[in-house]
Structure 1
């Protein structure tokens, strides 16, 4: 089993509980409003052709499609994709969900106006290679917009069970942002890959929602960030 297969296996197993948390009825409407505002600020006006890499259960892809963009979401974890396809099928003009590698997306050059991701950068192998490939897919002036945080500044958990069983030493060695101590490390990746005008926006609206409703099990209350750059 390769390191990427170990990552995929973890998210295949996590898919049901992850999706149930995202769909929590007590905060779903508030989340939709907050993320609609975040992505509206991140991208030019719709309709754009958007590639959502590491789409998972399709949360960002669904919000982006709801804003009027033409969205394609890709992921390697079939368990997550099954959930994303189910959500997309229930939505008029929903995103197209495909199996695909975020590091090497299999699309022609200049296919998209924007590439997005949500909670991918920390678990992304070869992030500079990935971002360079995203830039290749963008039309002139296109946007890369990623959302993430410094989830494990003290290192990934090593206690057996769950994450530690799949994110072993081989996997950790492949993920330079997994234990990032500052969002500036993500900024540096985007800049080194060739993006211009890289900016960071703290997502205070999501922070407040987490304060009101609580965070996912085994997570801490942390500030998340939107990082954008222009091709």
Structure 2
């Protein structure tokens, strides 16, 4: 692992113990959990399907996908996040495979998936366009790309790694910006605004949040 990735991994390892305290991370409130469950059922076709959760964090969305009967592989750069994801699904009696690795180039070799889910990761990547191109190659024909992103109201005032403020999408990307990047790579695409669905976030939000759902 190069120096920059190591610094990023260390940041998220440090964040892992408190990560689930955020309402949309831990999904402790039933209303928030149900809101994400409804969205995932709409975005990921009925299966069971092979689903890759890129930047899985502590595995809360992976757990919802596994509960829906999908075969889930989660990838995260931070071993601390992966440990918690493994424990979360094991504690729920659910199958799931979790790998430590760069989510922009998941360590899955020639394996292919029916859907790839990514939530709030693209802003952390040095080359989000390259990640998007690679992710589409991991999908089978007709596969679904689900990108849950936003343009955050809060500025990145304390970079988690030197130079983070200079990342291409520091602070997030607008729906139009992400749709422009994805559209040449896919067959069809739609954008779903999510800011008004307060249950997803554990309360009202004032910044731009959305999902880009695309078929390759």
Report the TM-score, using the length of structure 2 for normalisation.
0.88
Unaligned runs of 5+ in 1: 158-163
* 1:34 and 1:205 in contact (8 A); partners too: no
Residue 189 of structure 2 corresponds to 198
Residue 64 of structure 2 corresponds to 63
Deviation digits for residues 153-179 of structure 1 (CA, Å, limit 9, x no counterpart)? x7421xxxxxx252332x333x31223
* 2:122 and 2:172 in contact (8 A); partners too: no
> Equivalent residues in 2 for 1:13-28 (5 A)?
13-21=14-22, 22-23=25-26, 25=28, 27=29
1:225 aligns with 2:216: no
Deviation digits for residues 62-94 of structure 1 (CA, Å, limit 9, x no counterpart)? 111111111000001111111111101112333
1: CA distance, partners of 2:197 / 2:82: 24
* 2:27 and 2:60 in contact (8 A); partners too: no
2: CA distance, partners of 1:123 / 1:65: 26
* 1:148 and 1:224 in contact (8 A); partners too: yes
How far is the alpha carbon of 1:36 from its aligned partner? Answer: 0.9
- Structure 1 outlier segments of 4+, above 4 Å: none
Residue 137 of structure 2 corresponds to 136
Deviation digits for residues 33-52 of structure 1 (CA, Å, limit 9, x no counterpart)? 11111111112112110000
1: CA distance, partners of 2:173 / 2:46: 33
Report the TM-score, using the length of structure 1 for normalisation.
0.82
1:189 aligns with 2:181: yes
Unaligned runs of 5+ in 2: none
> Equivalent residues in 2 for 1:38-53 (5 A)?
38-53=39-54
